[in-house]
A = this chain, B = another copy of it.
Amino acid sequence: MALEHALLVSLRERAASGSELTRRFDKSFGYFWSATHQQIYRTLARMESDGWLTSEVVPQQGKPDTKVYAVSPLGEKILAVWLTEAPTDAPLRSELAVKLRGASYAEDRAGVLAMARAQREVHRTRAAAYEQMLQRQFPHPEELSDADVDRYLVLRAGVRVEEGWIGFLDEYRTTHERRASGATDKEAR
């Protein structure tokens, strides 16, 4: 599993409570590792009982107390080791790819093409969001600290992946448009 390690990274960036972590995993961190608050609370509890984290109850202004977790020396050690290990190759799951591959079994190819066009917009919007975050958070990429340059670079990865999808969805659309217009005679086989 790797949620625990994602939590270690986030907590090393700054100690936090479950709800604060939930917010992070809905925003920036969540762009490459998502989790629900339930998962997070449960995992934090387990990590603490395993000695990876320490916690401290902190009273707040105008809000209920929070339980703020920090990475213990054991947790730091575990993270340091994990970081250099090869990632366990993710199970690669693209619902979009399944749909596009199955497009010829829809009643109407136009419906799938419309979905693909909408999907292209989704990716375009997401890429734009990343780019805006890059500009706002890292206006001078040459002068970043060690930890910040990695946050910067991972955002760059996000942009590239999104652009990969956009490029593909354009290829998908133009290929099918060309076929629909020019090559109606070849439709059967």
Measured CB to CB, the closest approach of chain B to A42, in angstroms, equals 17
Closest Cβ neighbor of A151 among chain B residues = B101
B94 and A93 contacting across the interface, CB-CB below 8 Å: no
Task: Decide yes or no whether A100 CB sits under 8 A from chain B.
Answer: yes
CA gap between A112 and B2 in the complex, in Å? 16
CB interface residues, A 70-86, toward B, < 8 Å: 76, 79-80, 82-86
0/1 interface trace, chain A 10-34, chain B, CB 8 Å (1 if under): 0010000000000000000011111
Bound-state Cα–Cα, A171 to B189, Å = 43
A44-52, A55-63, A114-122, A131-139: which lies at the B interface?
A114-122
Report chain B residues within 8 Å CB of A122: 89
Total A residues in contact with B, Cβ cutoff 8 Å: 77
Question: B31, B95, B150, B176: which contacts A92 (Cβ < 8 A)?
Answer: B31
0 or 1 for each of A88-108: is its CB under 8 Å from B? (1 = yes): 111111111111111111111
Q: Is A157 an interface residue (CB 8 A)?
A: yes
- Return the 7 tightest CB-CB contacts between A and B, nearest first: A84-B111, A164-B164, A9-B102, A32-B97, A87-B95, A83-B106, A104-B146
- A106-B84 contact, Cβ under 8 Å, with A150-B101, A164-B161: yes
